Amino acid sequence: MIRILIVEDESTISNLIRMSLSKQGYHCTCAYDGAEACDLLENNHFDLILLDVMLPEIDGFTLIEYIRPMEIPVIFITAKSDVNDRVRGLRAGAEDYIVKPFEVVELLARIDVVLRRFKKTDEVLQIGGLSIDTCAMHVKREGREIHLTPKEYELLLLFAQNPGRALYRETIYEWVWGEEFQFGSKTVDLHVQRLRKKVGWEEQLQAVNKVGYRLEV
């Protein structure tokens, strides 16, 4: 099981992250200041650290210097949106940087990318009758390979990594296409329709009224 340390002094945000990640099967531990995080790191093993910058006792920039020799990947989570702070965090050794407020789906996707980069996650995802090889980017049902376009594959992976979660069309579009969603666009709907037929998710991939889509498995 992947073990994640959440270092965040705001208990509301920390608990929201912990609950969201726990639902995805991650084992989460929370620290509410830099000194507590140091104690936990000294006595426990973690695969990933979600680290706030503005912390009591020891701030995030100082703490990452302590973490670096441990070779544990770090994602900074902070309200600081200044470019200089983002650059400083990345140069200090963080793998990624996400600014509050953020969508949980975005955080989960970023976590997955970092864990795969460090080879700390399952390479084959089994869901809804499909076998998804996230390393080779192959998708199979009952041993038969299903050929998807790059966008269809990214769309499939987004749903597979967020089962049971209603995803807004805007979120889907911005994550898969990397652009701001244009009101009235049917791109997401057309790709979802094609994906449903190709992978056999006509019933599982459900439309959510005035929202977007949800994968029920």
Per-residue pLDDT, 122: 58
pLDDT per position as a tens digit, 59-96 = 999 999 999 999 899 999 887 667 777 788 888 889 99
Structure letter (DSSP) for residue 71 = T
Q: Domain span at residue 169?
A: 124-215
- Using the 3D structure, point to which of 61, 95, 117 is the last residue of a domain: 117
- Domain match, 98 and 193 both: no
CATH code, domain with 146: 1.10.10.10
pLDDT per position as a tens digit, 126-153 = 899 999 987 678 899 998 999 999 999 9
- Using the 3D structure, point to which of 101, 117, 133 is the last residue of a domain: 117
Q: Name 132's bridge partners.
A: 125, 139
- Using the 3D structure, point to which of 83, 100, 117 is the last residue of a domain: 117
Report the distance separating Cα 39 and Cα 34, nearest Å.
9
CB 48 within 8 Å of CB 24:
no
- Domain match, 18 and 113 both: yes
Per-residue pLDDT, 117: 82
Say if pTM beats, i.e. exceeds, 0.75.
no
Q: Is the peptide bond before 101 cis (omega within 30 degrees of 0)?
A: yes
Q: How confident is the model at residue 123 (pLDDT cuts 50, 70, 90)?
A: low
Q: How confident is the model at residue 176 (pLDDT cuts 50, 70, 90)?
A: confident
**Backbone φ and ψ of 106, nearest 5°:** -70, -45
